[in-house]
Amino acid sequence: MRRLFVAGNWKMNTTAAVGSALASALAVEVSKSQPAVDVAVCPPSPYLSTIKAVLGTSPIYLGAQNAYFAAPGAFTGEVGLDMLVDVGCQCVILGHSERRAIFGETDELINKKVAATLQKELGVILCIGELLADRQGNKTEAVLETQLTGGLAGIDAAAMKHIVLAYEPVWAIGTGVTATPQQAQDTHKFIRNWLEKRYNAEVAAATRIQYGGSVTPETAAELLSQPDVDGALVGGASLKADKFIPIIQAAAAVKKSA
């Protein structure tokens, strides 16, 4: 049975004070209820240390939203993996569609980041997802296949236990349009079948695939109940404790057969 994993991507939002208040509310709730799901928050990099301190001994993981693959050196403006380890991060979001679209990240670059992140023994949340035009043109599977093949090039089956995939249809991110539970399930099933072909049945069965794209407390339960949906990567709704906590609770309440 895969343990559900709910992660909050704060993107370029919050201040130290706002992020601390949010993290504190989440830490209280998650420590109190010890939900049977994994929970992570991914604040902007300047606040990682602050939020780490606020999370304290709570079981909430700390994630970064990006990292550069190279060893420390002359890379002005970048954040290195050693730094993320140093401030207590446990995982890194890589390949988010905003990094791809706004900052021109290619599958090749993302792959270098994935490999370097694993070398530092950090977990990876690797985002993949198609544009609206891809879905309308029946190209979703081809796009995902390209992103998976490129992003996971050279990553072996043993390393896959440190990787979570996040299926995030770009047309659903920040738009208020959520994929239907059936669309999410069908696409997650496609991704799981791809994992079986590329790796083996064990990797396919064990790899967690989060859904991301306008998840809200209202839509979470049905999406997370789909057999191949193993959690959520949440943007906007992760910025408010009264929206993110019900999503965590919805995940904790999901019952799936093995």
Footprint on this chain of ligand PEP (rule: CB under 6 A): 9, 11, 168, 173-174, 212-215, 233-237
- Kindly state the tokens that stand for 95: 């390949």
CB-CB contact of 254 with 228 (8 Å): no
E strand residue ranges, 47-129: 61-64, 91-94, 123-128
Q: Who's near 157: CB < 8 A, 6+ residues apart?
A: 199, 200, 202, 203
Instruction: Give 71 or 177: the residue with its C-beta nearer to ligand PEP.
Output: 177
* 210 backbone dihedrals φ, ψ, rounded to 5°: -85, 155
46 or 174: whose CB is closer to ligand PEP? 174
Which residues are CB-neighbours of 177 under 8 A, at least 6 positions away? 171, 213, 214
Amino acid at residue number 105: E
Which of 29, 130, 168, 188 is flagged as catalytic? 168
Q: How far is the CB of 124 from ligand PEP (least distance, A)?
A: 15
Instruction: Kindly give, in sequence order, each residue whose CB lies less than 8 Å from that of residue 133, ignoring residues fewer than 6 positions away.
Output: 139
Shortest CB 173 distance to ligand PEP, Å:
4
DSSP letters of 163-206? Answer: EEEEE--GGGTTTS-PPPHHHHHHHHHHHHHHHHHHS-HHHHHH
Q: Is 96 a catalytic residue?
A: yes
For residues 9 and 204, which CB has a smaller minimum distance to ligand PEP in the complex? 9
Q: Which helix (H) or strand (E) holds 60?
A: none
196 in active site: no
Least CB distance to ligand PEP at residue 175 (A):
7
Number of other residues whose CB lies within 10 A of the CB of residue 138: 8
The active-site residue, picked from 96, 98, 130, 188, is 96
Quick one: 23 or 215, whose CB is closer to ligand PEP?
Answer: 215
Cβ of residue 26: shortest distance to ligand PEP, in angstroms? 16
Task: Give the single-character DSSP code of 80.
Answer: B
Which residue is closest to ligand PEP by CB? 235
Q: In angstroms, what is the minimal distance from the CB of 171 to ligand PEP?
A: 10
Q: What residues are labeled active site?
A: 96, 168
